[in-house]
Amino acid sequence: MQLSLAWHNLVMLYSRQNITVEQDQLVALSGLTILFAQQGGGDYLAGLWKPTLLSDLLWEDSAYKYPRRRSLTYRAPSWSWASMDCPVNYVLGRVMSNRVTILDVNIQTMVGSSQWGRVIGGYLRLQGKLFPNLSVVFRRDLERFSLGKGGINCTIPIARCIPDERDHQEGSVANIESGLLCLPLVSYMNTSRAVGYSCELGLVLSHEGGQSRGHYRRWGIFEVEHSEFFEDSGNQASSEWYVNGEEGIIVII
């Protein structure tokens, strides 16, 4: 737990530094990652660690800097904070229980490179429950994004969310993003407020043209304190949303 917290703090500080060569972001961190591995960090996965992978996935883009975008040059899968060209934060707290099962995770580095080298590909294979056909709108009254059901005009809010990419606070994401999915990852005790509270945290995913069935990219992160939406099996994705129609199996790239 303490090692994971130290890593999250390091990532938040490091993501605020200016790296001269975009592709070298993870390579420049390799000296520290080796030290963490020696302290029991486990297998290293493009800026995350296998023993704490679910909590390591719970990063979000800083709300205080725009624009926020992914690197134009590939350097990590979309589920890694290292894919971003902006500061990131971690949600303070602890995982109470898991909502998914990690089946496989793979990181490919350049030929001849160690696991600390430059990343050229990777994927995360999970078993969990997808909720499809969602939209995101910007709630100007609350100054935040809302994930909901009901098309672009999104009349049924489900959860708060933070997109990974946007130009500015009221920019291109607002009122135009639809066809998204969400994947609950964990039940979480959020300690970012004076009084901690339990919530569900998970990923917002997108499916782009050309991607295989059941393969998605991370679009953002969501949080909800309580929602009957996720308890209703009628809202869950049918088999066509999963890899080869296998119930609950997805790949995030």
Q: What is the pLDDT of residues 120-132, one digit of tens each?
A: 999 999 999 999 9
Give the Cα-Cα-Cα angle 95, 129, 155 (nearest 5 degrees).
95
Query: How confident is the model at residue 196, as a pLDDT?
Result: 87
Q: Write out pLDDT tens, residues 13-69.
A: 998 887 655 666 788 888 899 999 998 878 999 999 999 999 999 999 886 656 788
pTM recorded for the entire structure: 0.91
CB 143 within 8 A of CB 152: no
pLDDT digits (tens, 9 = 90+) for 152-197: 555 678 999 999 998 765 544 445 688 999 999 999 999 988 788 9
